[in-house]
């Protein structure tokens, strides 16, 4: 600001007047803030937020005497590529502020990834320009639908288990997840990757799971397509622990019928040890000698295992006297 020059004004008669003029060279800085609105405070835009998003800003400068101050263009970039440019129907700067309303014309051009928005300014017949920009992460893809896994401890693929631990799979990194055991009426926030079901029967669509990614997008809801039965109760024997058998009873004849009560079907087997090798048992609990017993004795012992559909087991020692 210290360039000085003396200008001489001379008329036709040769009269002169001198005037010292000081010239200051200034940097005219013109800029604007660029702010996304209606997207929360996480600097991530999900699919629901993108449907309502707007942009706004405040223009700042080192000089207040600009003429025809305006927005020249708004440029949207993703992966270093321009995906959309607004050149017409641009926001008007009023009291140094401006707002770009939501419009699917530009919102529909945005895809997953970082997005840079550049707002270009112009003033004094475009002799002075400036800009502002902002970067935001766009995540508008819903996460995968979670899946449910559990250990089927009974018959394969019958949906009956004694292990109530339900494992949730296909969870996105950083996502939160929720589960319902009342058909979706109430959801509980999950932790880790599993939850525990209490003993009971969970009919089709009773168990539901969903996840929400870090941007706020929510997955479709998983629903169990078949019943899941959690049975943690062992069968209860109601049959006797002793039995008397006549000598020379045919080997084909049932000498004892094992009976145990349970909420699910029960099958019977023999445990190794004692006199197991002398007996056979059907899955329905019919105990037989393998061979006809010709002499009296009272010391044949065998342990019968009652196993329900969930794999819960109860053992009972039975003494057979011939």
28-77 tens-digit pLDDT:
679 999 999 999 988 999 999 999 999 999 999 876 677 889 999 999 99
Band of pLDDT at residue 26, cut at 50, 70 and 90: low
CB 275 within 8 A of CB 287: no
**How would DSSP label each residue in 229-262?**
EE--PPPEE-S-SEEE--TT--TTS--EE--EE-
Distance CA 180, CA 195 (A): 10
Query: What does the pLDDT look like over 108-138, one tens digit per residue?
Result: 999 999 999 999 999 988 888 999 999 999 9
The answer on pLDDT for 25 being more than 70 is no
Distance CA 119, CA 202 (A): 56
User: Is residue 258 assigned to a domain?
Assistant: yes
Domain C-terminal end among 138, 157, 181: 138
CATH of the domain at 102: 2.60.40
pTM above 0.75, yes or no: no
CATH of the domain at 246: 2.60.40.60
Q: Is 264 found in the same domain as 218? A: no
User: Is residue 255 assigned to a domain?
Assistant: yes
CB 19 within 8 A of CB 9: yes
Distance CA 25, CA 23 (A): 7
User: Is residue 22 assigned to a domain?
Assistant: no
Q: Structure tokens of 218?
A: 């929510």
Band of pLDDT at residue 27, cut at 50, 70 and 90: low
- Which residues are 269's β-sheet partners? 305
Q: Is 133 found in the same domain as 46? A: yes
Q: What CA–CA distances, in Å, run from 174 to 98, 141, 177?
A: 36, 15, 10
Distance CA 169, CA 49 (A): 27
Distance CA 186, CA 179 (A): 8
Q: Which of the 8 DSSP states describes residue 42?
A: S
Distance CA 243, CA 259 (A): 13
CB 57 within 8 A of CB 92: no
Q: Is 225 found in the same domain as 165? A: yes
Q: Is 117 found in the same domain as 156? A: no
What is the dihedral angle through the alpha carbons of 184, 189, 195, 200, rounded to the nearest 10 degrees?
A: -30
Q: Which of 28-32, 136-140, 223-227, 309-313 has the lowest mean pLDDT?
A: 28-32
Distance CA 121, CA 104 (A): 23
Q: Is 260 found in the same domain as 177? A: no
Residue range of the domain that includes 316: 236-321
Q: Structure tokens of 239?
A: 């049959």
Which ranges in the chain belong to alpha helices (H)? Answer: 47-50, 104-107
Q: Is 156 found in the same domain as 129? A: no
User: Is residue 7 assigned to a domain?
Assistant: no
Q: Is 60 found in the same domain as 90? A: yes
Query: What does the pLDDT look like over 133-169, one tens digit per residue?
Result: 999 999 999 999 999 999 999 777 889 999 999 999 9
Q: Is 128 found in the same domain as 44? A: yes
Query: Quick one: pLDDT at residue 1?
Result: 67
CB 219 within 8 A of CB 299: no
Q: What's the length of the chain?
A: 322
Q: Is 41 found in the same domain as 122? A: yes
Domain C-terminal end among 104, 138, 172: 138
Q: Is 152 found in the same domain as 119? A: no
Q: Is 241 found in the same domain as 315? A: yes
Domain count for the chain, please give it: 3
Of residues 167 and 26, more confidence is placed in: 167
User: Is residue 9 assigned to a domain?
Assistant: no
Domain C-terminal end among 230, 246, 264: 230
* Region at 216 (left for phi over 0; alpha for psi -120 to 50; beta for the rest): left
User: Is residue 10 assigned to a domain?
Assistant: no
User: Is residue 263 assigned to a domain?
Assistant: yes
Distance CA 244, CA 318 (A): 11
Query: Quick one: pLDDT at residue 192?
Result: 96
| Residue keyed to tokens 């049959």 | 239
Distance CA 158, CA 241 (A): 32
Q: Is 106 found in the same domain as 51? A: yes
CB 168 within 8 A of CB 190: yes
User: Is residue 68 assigned to a domain?
Assistant: yes
């Amino acid at each position: 600001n210290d360039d000085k020059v003396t200008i001489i004004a001379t008329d036709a008669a040769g009269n002169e007047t001198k005037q010292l003029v000081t010239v200051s060279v200034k940097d005219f800085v013109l800029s604007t803030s660029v702010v996304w609105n209606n997207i929360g405070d996480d600097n991530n835009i999900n699919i629901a937020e993108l449907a309502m998003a707007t942009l706004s800003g405040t223009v700042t400068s080192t000089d207040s005497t600009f003429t025809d101050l305006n927005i020249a263009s708004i440029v949207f970039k993703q992966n270093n590529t321009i995906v959309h440019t607004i050149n017409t129907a641009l926001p008007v700067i009023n009291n140094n502020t401006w707002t770009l309303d939501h419009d699917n014309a530009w919102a529909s051009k945005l895809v997953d990834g970082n997005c840079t928005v550049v707002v270009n300014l112009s003033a004094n017949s475009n002799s002075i320009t400036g800009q502002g920009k902002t970067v935001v992460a766009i995540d508008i893809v819903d996460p995968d639908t979670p899946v449910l896994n559990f250990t089927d401890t009974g018959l394969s693929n019958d949906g009956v288990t004694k292990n109530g631990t339900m494992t949730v799979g296909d969870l996105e990194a950083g996502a939160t997840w929720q589960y319902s055991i009342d058909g979706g009426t109430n959801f509980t926030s999950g932790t880790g990757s599993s939850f525990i079901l209490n003993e009971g029967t969970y009919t089709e669509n009773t168990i539901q799971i969903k996840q929400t990614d870090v941007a706020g997008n929510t997955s479709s809801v998983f629903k169990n397509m078949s019943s899941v039965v959690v049975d943690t109760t062992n069968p209860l024997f109601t049959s006797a622990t002793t039995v008397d058998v006549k000598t020379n009873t045919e080997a084909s004849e049932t000498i004892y019928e094992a009976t145990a009560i349970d909420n699910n079907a029960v099958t019977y087997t023999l445990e190794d040890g004692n006199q197991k090798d002398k007996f056979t048992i059907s899955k329905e609990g019919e105990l037989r000698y393998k061979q006809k017993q010709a002499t009296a004795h009272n010391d044949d012992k065998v342990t019968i295992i009652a196993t329900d559909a969930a794999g819960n087991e109860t053992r009972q020692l039975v003494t057979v006297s011939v």
